[in-house]
Amino acid sequence: MADILKCNHLKKQYGGFTALRGINLELPEGKVVGLLGPNGSGKTTLIKLASGILLPTAGEITINGMKPGVETKKLVAYLPERNYLDLSKKINKQIDFMADFYKDFNRDRAYEMLDRLSIDPKRPLKDLSKGNREKVQLILVMSRDAKLYLLDEPIGGVDPAARDYILDTIIDNHPADSTVLISTHLIADVEPVLDEFVFIREGEILQHSTVDEVKAEGKTVDGLFREVFRC
């Protein structure tokens, strides 16, 4: 199986602070991967590098064999921690915007998901609650048929019911041959949907395994996380 994301001695520094310390990582196609680590471990930096928002200080990162740029951005669907929507826009106008720029954007799927949440697409984004804005943003990302989904803390700061909705939306909507990278520190919640996981701490990869390997040892990823990251 081909690798959709590859990091080769990838390093990122912000001034004097080193966020990633020359990591090596390969993520195969068609997997749901958890990027797991405490706050400040380098998860967001890795995702920003893969999305092309940041450039590496040293080393290399490739998406489908290409350095991040215009071509990889066509393949990557990115959900940042922040709300990036222009709140003065109506939801349907935001859908038009996404459909204009991404050939893989599926309008019908977006409207269907909005309908399921009883959100009127003609409403301006500023009229929605914070929770619904986050859901709309997730819907916009998951309405794409991307090769790689980069989801940064998609379930952070939401109630358990919303977490279930978010995870179900991710799992139900991503194409089978795509890879989903979910960054989080809420291990127990994401564990049921993961195929693989990556433990990251202080800018270094500690472990990259399949969930089945952990299960074979009679452990859970959550239990292993607590073991590895014990203070």
Partner 1 sequence: MLGKLTKHEFLACGRIALPTYIAMLALSGIGRFLTWLTSRQYLIDNVPTTFVKIIKVLSSLISTVYVIAFIALVVLTLVYLVYRFYKNFFTDEGYLMMTLPVRPASLIFSKLFNGWIFIFFSAIVALGSLYITLGHYDQLVDLVERIFDAVKDVVDREGDFLRDELGVPLWVFVVEVVIFFFLLISRYIISWYTSVGFGMLLSKKHKVLGTIIAYIILDIASYILMGIFLAVATSILPNYYEVLAESGGKALQITVIGNSIINLILGALLFWFTSYIMKHKLNLD
- In the complex, the smallest distance separating the C-beta of residue 88 from partner 1, rounded to whole angstroms, is 7
Q: To the nearest whole angstrom, how small is the minimum distance from the Cβ of residue 48 to partner 1?
A: 8
Least distance from partner 1 to the Cβ atom of residue 107, Å: 16
Residue 6 CB contacts under 8 Å (≥ 6 apart), including other chains: 25, 26, 27, 60, 61, 62, 65
> Residue 100 or 217: which CB sits closer to partner 1?
100
Distances, alpha carbon 133 to alpha carbons 174, 199, 225, in Å: 20, 30, 31
Query: Least CB distance from residue 190 to partner 1, whole Å?
Result: 22
Q: Give whichever of 55 and 171 is closer to partner 1, judged by the CB atom.
A: 55
Query: Is residue 105 within 8 Å of residue 144, measured between CB atoms?
Result: yes
* Interacting residue ranges for partner 1, rule: CB under 8 A: 14, 48, 51-55, 70-71, 73-74, 76, 78, 80, 82-86, 88-89, 93, 97, 100-102
- Residue 97 or 111: the one with the smaller Cβ distance to partner 1 is 97
Min dist CB 26 to partner 1, Å, is 22
Nearer to partner 1, 102 or 225 (CB): 102
Q: What are the C-alpha distances in Å from 64 to residues 3, 71, 210?
A: 7, 10, 21
User: Structure tokens of 183?
Assistant: 């960054």
Nearer to partner 1, 86 or 164 (CB): 86
- List the one residue out of 121, 119, 124, 115 whose CA is nearest residue 92: 121
CA–CA distance, 102 with 155 (Å, rounded to integer)? 25
